[in-house]
Structure 1
Amino acid sequence: MTPLKIGACLKASEIADHRAWLFDAARDIEIQDFMSFAALSTEFDDRISAVKSALAGHTGRIGIHGPFEGLDIDNKDAELQPLITARLLKALEAADRIGARQMVLHSPYTLWFQNNVFSWKGYAETKLQRIHDTLAPVVKAAEDAGQTLVIENIQDVRPETRRAMVDSFNSSAIALSIDTGHAQLARRMSGAPPVEDFVRDAGDQLAHVHLQDVDGHADRHWAPGEGEIEWTAVFRALSECQSAPHLVLELRDKADIPKGYRTLSDLGLVI
Structure 2
Amino acid sequence: MSLPVLGVALPLEGLRQHRSWILDSQRDLEVQDFFWAEVLNGDWKPLAEAISKELDGHTGRLGIHGPFWGFTIASLDPDVRRLVARRMDQGLDVCAALGATQMVIHSPYTTWDYNNLDYNPGARAKVVERTHDTLKAAVRRAEDMGVTLVIENIEDCDPADRVALARSFDSPAVRVSIDTGHANYAHTSTGAPPVDYYVTAAGDMLHHVHLQDSDGYADRHWNPGEGTIAWPQLFRALGTLSSNPRLILEVRNKDLVRAGADHLIGLGLAR
1:246 and 1:107 map into 2 onto residues whose CA distance is 18
1:145 maps to what in 2?
Answer: 145
SS of corresponding position for 1:74: coil
Query: Could you tell me whether the CA contact under 8 Å between 1:39 and 1:47 is conserved in 2?
Result: no
Q: How does 1:69-84 map to 2 (within 5 A)?
A: 69-84=69-84
Counterpart amino acid of residue 217 in structure 2: H
Is 1:239 the counterpart of 2:239 in the alignment?
yes
The one-letter code matched in structure 1 to 2:219 is D
Once the two structures are superposed, residues 132-161 of structure 1 have per-residue CA deviations (whole angstroms, 9 ceiling, x without a partner) of 110111111100111100000000000101
> Could you say which residue in structure 1 is the equivalent of 2:115?
115
Partner Cα distance (1:79, 1:7) in 2: 37
Letter in 2 for 1:182: H
Secondary structure of the residue aligned to 2:208 is strand
Unaligned runs of 5+ in 2: none
* Deviation per residue, 1:159-217 (Å, 9 max, x gap): 10101100110001000000000000000111111111101111111000000000111
Q: How far apart in 2 are the matches of 1:171 and 1:217?
A: 35
Task: Tell me how far 1:2 sits from its aligned partner.
Answer: 4.3
Alignment of 1:98-137 (within 5 A): 98-137=98-137
- Over 4 Å off, 4+ runs: none
The separation in 1 between residues aligned to 2:178 and 2:74, in whole angstroms, is: 19
Aligned to 2:253: 253
TM-score normalised over the length of structure 2:
0.98
- Superposed CA deviations along residues 217-263 of structure 1, whole A, max 9, x for unmatched, are 11110000000000000011111110011111001001221111111
| Unmatched tracts of structure 1, length 5 or more | none
Q: Equivalents in 2 of 1:261, 1:123: separation in Å? A: 41
Query: What SS does the aligned partner of 2:79 have?
Result: coil
Asked if 2 retains the 8 angstrom alpha-carbon contact of 1:3 and 1:239, the reply is no
2:215 counterpart residue number: 215
Counting aligned pairs with the same residue, the percent is 46
Paired residues of 1:2 and 1:239 also in contact (CA < 8 A): no
CA distance in 2, matches of 1:110, 1:79: 21
Matched AA of 1:86: R
Where does 1:16-55 land on structure 2 (aligned, <5 Å)? Answer: 16-55=16-55
State the AA in 1 paired with 2:21.
Answer: W
The count of corresponding residues between Structure 1 and Structure 2 is 271
**Residue 9 of structure 1 contacts residue 29 of structure 1 at CA under 8 Å; is this kept in 2?**
yes
TM-score by length of 1: 0.98
What is residue 66 of structure 2 aligned with on the other side?
Answer: 66
RMSD over aligned CA atoms reads 1.0
